[in-house]
Amino acid sequence: MDCEHAHLRVYEYLDGELTVWKRRAITRHLDDCPPCAQGFTFEIDLRRVIVSKCAEDVPAELKARIAIALGIIEADEPVPE
């Protein structure tokens, strides 16, 4: 996988729309390509901020559902405060 494909796939990766094999291919590319890995980390951080800011005044259950929908936590994981 080259950088261009990795960039295109990162959003799908974050949205949980990729198969296990495609996710592995991206993970492998990110391991070998610091610039892509940096961009990827930024996207994750951005989503964490969105979730924490948007979830301040909503019930914990909804907060958890948003975090799960964004792929930040697994369904059986506790919600990060």
Chain residues in the site for Zn ion (CB under 5 A): 3, 6, 33, 36
Select 10 or 51, whichever has its Cβ closest to Zn ion: 10
Q: How far is the CB of 22 from Zn ion (least distance, A)?
A: 15
DSSP 16-79: T-S-HHHHHHHHHHHHH-HHHHHHHHHHHHHHHHHHHHHTTTS-HHHHHHHHHHTTSS-TTSPP
Q: How far is the CB of 47 from Zn ion (least distance, A)?
A: 20
Select 43 or 77, whichever has its Cβ closest to Zn ion: 43
Which residues, including other chains, have CB under 8 Å from residue 3's CB and lie 6 or more apart?
29, 33, 35, 36
Q: How far is the CB of 39 from Zn ion (least distance, A)?
A: 9
Select 41 or 58, whichever has its Cβ closest to Zn ion: 41
